[in-house]
Amino acid sequence: MRIAIASDHAAFDLKADLRDWLIEQGHEVADLGPDTADSVDYPDYGYKLAAVVADGTADRGVALCGSGLGISMSINRHPAIRCALVSEPLSASLAREHNDANCIAMGARLVGSDMAKACLSAFLETDFAGGRHQRRIDKLSNPDI
């Protein structure tokens, strides 16, 4: 799977850890930055991530910041993105199964590396259920439906 990952400075170390782990799992990973732990603005990286998932360059996106809140808000501003903020695997799985989430967000100050990997595994291994959920997903990008 082609996965794009981005963070702010607070999640720089977690991003590097997850990037390397995803590569070990056999995924093609695009690290959208930042390249250092120097202070940056999370919306810049959220918007970059949203763009590559929305245009199909990446199949899924991983967004990280200190709490996961700010970057998830920025990435969800794109109408083609459904980013779920998660801190445990069940939410990550349900985000895919019920909401067809194409991005996952986590907070580096709230989840450790092992929990982040468990969330990411659940997210990547779960398929969208479709059916009754599809009409709701359609409304997320088209509120006038």
Does the annotation count 27 as an active-site position?
A: no
- Which tokens in the block code for residue 118? 């468990």
Average pLDDT value for residue range 90-113: 97
Q: Does the pTM exceed 0.85? A: yes
Q: Does position 16 have pLDDT exceeding 90, yes or no?
A: yes
Catalytic residue status for 98: yes
Residue 70 labeled ligand binder:
yes
> Which CATH class, in words, describes the domain spanning 2-141?
alpha beta
Asked if 11 contacts 66 with a C-beta cutoff of 8 angstroms, the reply is yes
77 is in an annotated binding site: no
Which amino acid is present at 129?
A
Q: Report pLDDT for 95.
A: 98
**Domain ranges within the chain, ordered by starting residue:** 2-141
Average pLDDT, the chain: 96
- Select which of 27, 78, 83, 98 is catalytic: 98
Banded model confidence at residue 30, pLDDT cuts 50, 70, 90: very high
